[in-house]
Structure 1
Amino acid sequence: MSATSEAPGRRTHTVVDSPCGPLTLVAEGEHLVGLYMEAQRHRPDDSAFGERLPEPSGPPFAETARQLEEYFAGRREVFDLPLRLCGTPFQRRVWAALCEIPLGETWTYGRLAEHIGRPTASRAVGLANGKNPIGVIVPCHRVVGSGGGLTGYGGGLDRKRALLEHERALPAAAGARQLPVF
């Protein structure tokens, strides 16, 4: 996965089907800048998504749709897409750390805070986690409460549970993970 922080450009979007319901993919040029579920908390107004393209064709939509299909079919463990994550430096740091949580595992907000070198910032980590603009691909669903229980998820707890159950059914990741640079 690669990421950049270049200036934003013209936005377009498309919608793809998934086991989690319709997913709205948003792009600026050839970079994916959003993946939103229906009725997702912190989902921008549809007017912020730009022109709707009827099919997920061209970059980055075709490749994103293909990789999501492979992920949901259990044939992909790591995404390799050009991302542009727009947020504060702290948010981007949290989102980069989310990509370090191995497939099929969960971390607590406290562990994530410790991982980024801010052990007392678990609440701020939770807020940044909740504003992740690229769900599923940047796996904010892998973060759980301090007791290991499922806590808030912008896409709803049923979706979070389904994503975690799906990932636990996948074979363990083999080899090194490709990490984004935010």
Structure 2
Amino acid sequence: MLTTMEPAAARPRGRPRDPALDDRVLAAAVAELAERGVAEFSLTSVAARARAAKRSIYARWPTREDLMLAGMSTLAAGLVPPRTGSLEQDMDILLDRVAAVFTEPRLTLLQRCVAEISQYPDLYAAFKRDSVDRCLAAVEDAVHDAVARGEIRADIDRATVAEALVGIAMLRGAFAQPTGSPILTSRQRTEVIRMFLDGLRPRP
């Protein structure tokens, strides 16, 4: 009796994508932008930094602009409201995470993008969206949740709170020493958070 054979599953063509290579290339693209800016950005240099073949880079990002935008999108990747159930704890986490967005090489990249804004407005807009705006949105969402819980006043301007907290974190990140120690000390975080909460909680 003949049995029906199941068709063999089709194998994907080509080599599987290597996430480690993607990470190396994107990190190299950020470093290249920070060091040389948009005008002097070189795919050849990125390939050398990432120890990758240029054809592998082109297979993932067909144009120079595609690669620059992809690199910028990693600047604040994964920055979302912690949603601990407490605004105090959310702020404690967000202060360090936001500050880390504005350490090197991101800080130099920000300065270069600002200098070249008139020449590359689309790239600058992408940088602002994927760094500053994402940080502001994370803080605004945390404040929104705190209002919904009744933890702080409902008349709070979430955008103003976000700009103030991100501004402090950005300043601390910009002047952080590359020692591996926390960007803000425990005492600094406590003082900043206390100041915010004293102004946000319901008034007697």
Q: Which has the higher strand share?
A: 1
The structure that has the greater radius of gyration is 2
- Fold conserved between structures, TM > 0.5: no
More helix by share: 2
Structure-1-length-normalised TM-score? 0.30
> TM-score if structure 2 supplies the norm length?
0.28
